[in-house]
Amino acid sequence: MPAALLFSIVIPTYGRPRQLAACLQAIAQLRYPRERFEAIVVDDGSGLSLDPAVDPVRDRVDVTLLRQPHAGAAAARNTGAAGAGGRLVAFTDDDCAPAEDWLGKLEARFAGAPDAMIGGRTVNALTANPYAMASQLVVDAGFAHLDGDPERARFFTASNLALPLDGFRAVGGFDASFVTSEDRELCGRWEARGGRLIFAPEALVRHAHELTFGGFWRQHFHYGRGAFLMQQARARHGWSQFRPDPSYYLRLLRHPFGRAPRTRAVQLSALLLLAQSASATGLVAEWLRSRRARARGRAA
């Protein structure tokens, strides 16, 4: 690939300057030629000055700070991609720290599959936080279920994925109507249009999502809302409908055992059960909201 701007790294952020500063410090330490990548930070209407987080890395990274009215992470990623100048756009989050060789590993994969979507591996950086650990296990189990063949993967998280910028724009970017699961919907649309998804576990990002009990519940409640919206998108696009697989949920609850000491594994399994309850509640809440919206539309 020519020695010119190759990667545009897009980072949406909302009211987390401390986490953003740590993310940008990690990006400043990437072992990758400075002239070959840029970082685009999109402030999603947080109302805070992010200059103290961005300014310290300007001498090491070509970084642009964009601002938009609050519209959600999906819309912020689209805003960042609209201003991107690289041939490839790489997405991560403000509470993530890419490994030093992240872009190098992604470039090596693109050398063999220039038109593919490449998804890297995201790992939990907060091993003392049981809620962060449980959320990571949900992602890991989902990857194991959907991405059994790395060369024919089906799902990546937006904290660690990259694809050709022109391909991203051709499929319409992220669907900004999604509060969560916008990454899953984008992957589904990419696959439906004949795009290839490749899992690259060597492209590593560390995720430091500081969760409390309430934050854990809200996160998975919103995952449930996203799951309902994903079902609607499947119907709209004519894709096959998702059917729950009981064996997956059994594997999910067993997932911590063998990966953590028994006492911690029991705790994590209980949190995974709680996560599924929160997701089910969110799915039902979104279904009810959708029914009310349709009823109002018929009455108008």
In a domain, 83, yes or no: yes
43 versus 229: the higher-pLDDT residue is: 43
In a domain, 154, yes or no: yes
pLDDT of residue 143: 74
Dihedral over alpha carbons 43, 44, 46, 52 (to 10 degrees): -10
Among the residue ranges 155-159, 178-182, 247-251, the one predicted with the least confidence is 247-251
Q: How many domains does the chain have?
A: 1
In a domain, 30, yes or no: yes
Confidence of residue 205 (pLDDT cuts 50, 70, 90): very high
pLDDT of residue 156: 93
Q: Supply the CATH number for residue 284's domain.
A: 3.90.550.10
| Residues in CB range of 84: below 8 A, 6 or more apart | 8, 10, 38, 40, 165
- Kindly tell me if the per-residue pLDDT of 162 is higher than 70: yes
159 versus 299: the higher-pLDDT residue is: 159
- Kindly tell me if the per-residue pLDDT of 134 is higher than 50: yes
Residue 171: CB atoms within 10 A of its CB come to 15
Cβ–Cβ under 8 Å, residues 283 and 224: yes
- Kindly tell me if the per-residue pLDDT of 126 is higher than 80: yes
pLDDT of residue 241: 67
Task: Work out the average pLDDT over 161-172.
Answer: 97
Q: What is the arrangement of strands in the sheet containing 88-91, beginning at the earlier edge strand?
A: 63-67, 37-43, 7-13, 88-91, 161-164, 117-124, 197-207, 96-98
DSSP annotation of 150: G
Confidence of residue 1 (pLDDT cuts 50, 70, 90): very low
pLDDT of residue 2: 45
In a domain, 49, yes or no: yes
Query: What pLDDT digit, counting tens, does each position of 265-286 carry?
Result: 999 999 999 999 999 999 999 9
Q: Which of 135, 275, 281, 123 is nearest to 201 (CA)?
A: 123
In a domain, 101, yes or no: yes
Query: What pLDDT digit, counting tens, does each position of 63-91 carry?
Result: 999 999 999 999 999 999 999 999 999 99
In a domain, 1, yes or no: no
Structure tokens at 179: 């509060």
Q: 292 is in which domain, residue-wise?
A: 7-299
In a domain, 2, yes or no: no
In a domain, 137, yes or no: yes
Among the residue ranges 99-108, 230-239, 267-276, the one predicted with the least confidence is 230-239
Query: What pLDDT digit, counting tens, does each position of 13-71 carry?
Result: 999 999 999 999 999 999 999 999 999 999 999 988 999 999 999 999 999 999 999 99
Percent of the chain past pLDDT 70, that is, above it, reads 97
3-state secondary structure of 240: coil
